Structure 1
Amino acid sequence: MSIQPIGIFDSGIGGTSIWKEIHALLPNEDTIYLADSFNAPYGQKGKGTIINLSIKNTEYLINKGCKLIVVACNTATTNAIDYLRSTYNMPFIGIEPAIKPAALQTKSNAIGILATKGTLSSALFSKTSDMFASNINVIEQIGEGIVELIESGKLQSDEMKRLLEVYLKPMIDAHIDYLVLGCTHYPYLISLLAELLPDHVKIIDSGEAVARQTKAILKKNNLLNIETSNNKNCFYTNGNPRIMQSLLDSKFVVEYLDF
């Protein structure tokens, strides 16, 4: 089992930000990345639909022989991971907004959270927020339209910049010193966000923590691949392969998959 691939799925291309962290930390591991771009964004869908899409993605990766699955989507994690863990006999790694480090480190007593509707309205997010951020000012912002722009190849567009300016203004006015990114698409916006935010505001995403957790769970289950042969990294999307390819090194090939 140790030489079997790690499976990773997201509601689109954003989870490649998580894949990059995993690949950097675990270069010996084979990976299969599945982008359900046709159904993106998950954040506007109901819980039942999100669970059904997550089941479809999970079963595809299981049929490919994956030994562990990373749910590289905040919305799918907060809405579906409990169901997946109770249904399938394999390890799952989820993604949560990094509220805890922001809440513990804030000096201004104000943090911003940019996430999808599906994440911000979930029970898991509410529980985490209540546990770590009940005594600070949390400015939540639904990033409506952001995923759609990224999925359509408009990452650096003027439209994206205008949208972010609107979303960030209440946070800047509240004097946040941390911005938590609650969607795996959003790390691709860090350079643009840094331009729009005051210099003192720190941006936090979950990528490194997810990679470390993936390594820990593989080690715990004796699933780490210690082979040093050339590893395989497969990328599949039911959207436009060229858009996902633009986020990856040219040595990796993105294939269209009708699923």
Structure 2
Amino acid sequence: MSTQPIGIFDSGIGGTSIFKEIKALLPHEHTLYLADSFNAPYGNKSKDEIIALSIKNTKLLISKDCKLIVVACNTATTNAIKELRDLFDIPFVGIEPAIKPAALSTQTKAIGILATKGTLSSELFHKSVDLYSENIKVIEQVGNGIVSLIEEGRTLSEDMKSLLQIYLKPMLEANIDYLVLGCTHYPYLMPLLLEILPEHVKIIDSGQAVARQTKAVLVQNQLLNEQTSTVKNEFYTNGTVAILKAILDAPYDVNYLKF
């Protein structure tokens, strides 16, 4: 048993979608979340930049005595998690687009993937596509501008709706029946996606799978917290505190921290 916190970091506020899934599955765990909003989005940065930012975030979480680190960012996982595991002696849980369940379930033999440039251009992403997409049409779309709008608090704005209509059009023309969300910011787009997409198109994100994997790694390393005393969930951002508070929509402790 361990009462140390689970560390979670993202290129901003999007990884809170992962935090919420972890919280639902592991309510007794203490957590510490880093929103690196000052450097968002990661998706347009080089691999070396993404690795450097991920190392910086990891060092900060380790300095705060975290027992496990969830890389709640598709771009950071697909570009940096190997380097993180090589450098640090702490368990990591990563996240990548849920291509496998979409590819195995599609009836139209066409799936769409909406993700950042950094994720779609990564070696890990291409390995997953090659592994699971034989005889399936995969329509990839870079979500330019989406993360920035969410980080500005304009998640459900008309500008966002217009962007999504443009990005989803070629997918619908290809008759997709599954849309894979390849960025942890994107689940917050669900109201707009449900408005734009036909009812038969199913939307898949990785949140619940990441929560299950987090629990499995804690169990494997004998790190589960089984105490039921008051749980502490801390949030730090180098961006706008009010925007992080708004997306959490709960009375959590949110602090500004320059990092």
Does the pair score TM above 0.5? yes
Matches within 5 A, 1:146-225: 146-225=146-225
Distance 2:75 2:249 in 1: 27
Instruction: Tell me, yes or no, if structure 1 residue 34 matches structure 2 residue 34.
Output: yes
Q: How many residues align?
A: 259
Mapped partners of 2:90, 2:17: distance in 1: 23
- Looking at structure 2, the residues matched to 134 and 173 of structure 1 have their Cα atoms a distance apart, in angstroms, of 20
Q: Which amino acid aligns with 2:226?
A: I
Q: How does 1:14-163 map to 2 (within 5 A)?
A: 14-163=14-163
Distance of 1:7 and 1:164 partners within structure 2 = 31
Provide the secondary structure at the position in 2 that maps to 1:75: helix
Deviates more, 1:27-36 or 1:1-10: 1-10
Cα distance in 2, alignment partners of residues 152 and 134 from structure 1: 39
Larger deviation: 100-109 or 130-139?
130-139
Identity among equivalent pairs (%): 69
| Distance across 1 between alignment mates of 2:209 and 2:43 | 22
Return the letter of the residue paired with 2:75: T
Offset of residue 240 of structure 1: 0.4
**1:134 CA displacement:** 2.7
1:28-61 per-residue CA deviation (whole Å, 9 max, x = no partner) reads 0000000000000000000000000000000000
Give the distance between the partners of 2:68 and 2:158, measured in 1 at CA. 39
- Pairwise CA RMSD: 0.7
Q: One-letter code of the match for 1:18?
A: I
- After the TM superposition, list the runs of 4 or more consecutive aligned residues in structure 1 that deviate by more than 4 angstroms: none
* TM-score, normalisation: structure 1: 0.99
Provide the rounded CA distance (Å) in 1 between the counterparts of 2:153 and 2:248.
13
Q: Distance in 2 between matches of 1:237 and 1:128?
A: 32
Q: Quick one: distance in 1 between partners of 2:12 and 2:255?
A: 13
The residue that corresponds to 1:226 in the other structure is: 226
Q: Which runs of 5+ in 1 are unaligned?
A: none
Deviation at 1:191, TM superposition (A): 1.4
In the TM superposition, what whole-angstrom CA distance separates every residue of 1:69-119 from its partner, at most 9, and x where no partner exists?
Answer: 000000000000000001100100000100000000000000000000000
1:153 alignment partner AA: G
SS at match of 1:247: helix
Q: CA deviation at 1:250?
A: 3.2
Residue identity opposite 1:250 in structure 2? A
Letter aligned with residue 160 of structure 1: M
1 CA distance for matches of 2:151 and 2:39? Answer: 11
How far does the alpha carbon of each residue in 1:139-174 deviate from its partner, in whole angstroms, 9 at most, with x for none? Answer: 000000000000001011100000000000000100
Deviation at 1:251, TM superposition (A): 1.4
Q: Report the residue type matching 2:162 in the other structure.
A: R
- The Cα of 1:249 is off from its aligned counterpart by 3.0
Mapped partners of 1:246, 1:146: distance in 2: 17
AA paired with 2:187? P
What amino acid maps onto 2:197 in structure 1?
L
Equivalent position of 1:247 in the other structure:
247
